[in-house]
């Protein structure tokens, strides 16, 4: 929990630094807190799972953003929250990833790459498994 609090405090300062001085003190919690990042990944996973229905519009560009968000969780878990990887947060992330894998299929042809690309350029071999899978059913249809 201490690592999460430190991470969120650092993120809060980054977010505050991007607004006008008169608005800084009004921001009391980071928009991209650790909890929000986990909640976001959980929503993506739930959206991919069989039986999920909604009239919400979900464009393929949102999927790309969601995979980028999963990258940010990986960076957190390998950096600021490295000590949490073996604890509850690591187990939670593993369970969400397992659900994601169950709701997707391998995509060795990278059939979505024309529309879904990581925002940070790096070799394909360095990308997380979430970039190399496609949903069993396309939630953007």
With respect to residue 140, please indicate whether it lies within any of the assigned structural domains.
no
How far apart CA 119 and CA 67 sit, in angstroms, is: 10
With respect to residue 24, please indicate whether it lies within any of the assigned structural domains.
no
With respect to residue 15, please indicate whether it lies within any of the assigned structural domains.
no
With respect to residue 16, please indicate whether it lies within any of the assigned structural domains.
no
With respect to residue 141, please indicate whether it lies within any of the assigned structural domains.
no
Q: Nearest-CA neighbor of 117 among 75, 65, 74?
A: 65
Bridge partners for 105 per DSSP: 134
User: What integer pLDDT is reported at residue 17 of this predicted model?
Assistant: 92
pTM for this structure?
A: 0.83
With respect to residue 21, please indicate whether it lies within any of the assigned structural domains.
no
**Rounded percentage of the chain residues whose pLDDT exceeds 90:** 33
Question: How many domains, the chain?
Answer: 1
With respect to residue 51, please indicate whether it lies within any of the assigned structural domains.
yes
Which structural domain range is residue 47 located in?
Answer: 30-135
User: What integer pLDDT is reported at residue 81 of this predicted model?
Assistant: 81
pLDDT digits (tens, 9 = 90+) for 34-59: 888 899 899 999 998 887 777 778 88
Average pLDDT over residues 61-66: 90
User: What integer pLDDT is reported at residue 82 of this predicted model?
Assistant: 81
With respect to residue 109, please indicate whether it lies within any of the assigned structural domains.
yes
Q: Does the pLDDT value for residue 116 go beyond 90?
A: no
């Amino acid at each position: 929990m201490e690592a999460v609090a430190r991470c969120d405090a650092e993120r809060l300062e980054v977010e505050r630094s991007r607004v006008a001085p008169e608005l800084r003190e009004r921001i009391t919690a980071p928009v991209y807190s650790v909890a929000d990042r986990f909640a976001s990944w959980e929503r993506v996973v739930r959206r991919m799972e069989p039986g999920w229905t909604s009239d919400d519009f979900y464009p393929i560009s949102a999927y790309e953003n969601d995979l980028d968000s999963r990258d940010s969780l990986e960076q957190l878990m390998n950096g600021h929250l490295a000590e949490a990887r073996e604890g509850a947060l690591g187990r939670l992330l593993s369970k969400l990833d397992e659900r994601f894998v169950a709701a997707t299929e391998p995509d060795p042809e990278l059939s979505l790459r024309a529309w879904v690309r990581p925002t940070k350029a790096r070799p394909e071999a360095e990308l997380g498994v979430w970039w190399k899978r496609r949903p069993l059913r396309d939630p953007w249809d």
